[in-house]
Structure 1
């Protein structure tokens, strides 16, 4: 089940990168409006979230006693999923809100490749007995197990992919 979730994440990422390849770098770095992120800034944010999530998981699994995921954790995870699919806008937590003013798509792809390889290693090395344990603290939903964390990463990606699609349409009309 971890593998299928990871592969879905990877498929989504590859599809997005494929859609963005060939677009002008100026367009990819143009903010949608004043104070809003550009497409490449949004991609940079997605990478930051994955990097920080993976770093947290790597630290957390080193602990001897991990909390088991409960019904309350499942409910908070479900509410997070609903919120991300609702189309609502959210302010990014400070840790993942500082994005570069300008970035090339190619450099972002290289960073994302590295982040994904690290995530894949983390998932491969995760002991079976930790699959139902809380390994990631989401800033709003609280502790999540690895399945809920991967669902969050996918839902977060989808949330921002919709924004990127709207920006692309706006620029290419």
Structure 2
């Protein structure tokens, strides 16, 4: 099933933050770095953008075959890419209940989108990624799991920096 990896990484994220207090989740390792809660909010914002862009791409007439992109490279955390403004988390502390609920909703929406459409159709429609260029919708759905795995590494690093 197309969404298995997405579910697996999301479960690892929840395991990694389980037992942490809201104050710990909202604490930043340094002023210029994100808190764990901000990372979680970023994942929610990204999932929403990907789902919305994918829906818009389906409405377009174009059917352009797209080469497989090396988005697995996003796991290399030695390379930093600043998140575009529309997927940057708010600076203010947030409640875990709100972020968890929003993440569950965005995850369900992307999963539902993936299940509702034939893989051939998903491979025939695309929209651009800021680093990897044009990616088809099936690649975008798979990329989401790699993006989350990258941030799982970041969450683990933040925990270590905060001594949690």
Name the TM-score, length of structure 1 as normaliser.
0.85
1:114 is aligned to 2:111: no
> 1:36 offset after TM fit, Å?
1.1
Structure 1 contact 47–111 (Cα < 8 Å) conserved: yes
Residue 85 of structure 1 is matched in structure 2 by 75
After superposition, residues 146-165 of structure 1 pair within 5 angstroms as 146-165=137-156
DSSP-derived class of the 1:166 partner: helix
Q: Residues of 2 paired with 1:128 and 1:53: CA distance?
A: 16
- Secondary structure of the corresponding residue to residue 59 of structure 2: coil
Aligned residues: 163
Q: Which residue of 2 aligns with 1:126?
A: 117
Aligned pairs (5 A) from 1:23-172: 23-69=20-66, 73-74=67-68, 77-78=69-70, 80-82=71-73, 84-87=74-77, 88-172=79-163
| 1:136 to partner: Cα distance | 3.1
**2:4 pairs with 1:7:** yes
Q: CA deviation at 1:41?
A: 0.2
Provide the alpha-carbon RMSD of the alignment.
1.7
Please give the secondary structure, in 2, of the residue aligned with 1:131: helix
Q: Can you give the 5+ residue segments of structure 1 that lack an aligned partner in the other structure?
A: none
Q: Tell me if structure 2 keeps the 8 A contact 1:134–1:143.
A: no
TM-score normalised by the chain length of structure 2: 0.89
Alpha carbons 1:53, 1:136 under 8 Å: kept: no
Secondary structure at the aligned position of 2:126 is classed as: strand
SS of the equivalent of 1:132 reads helix
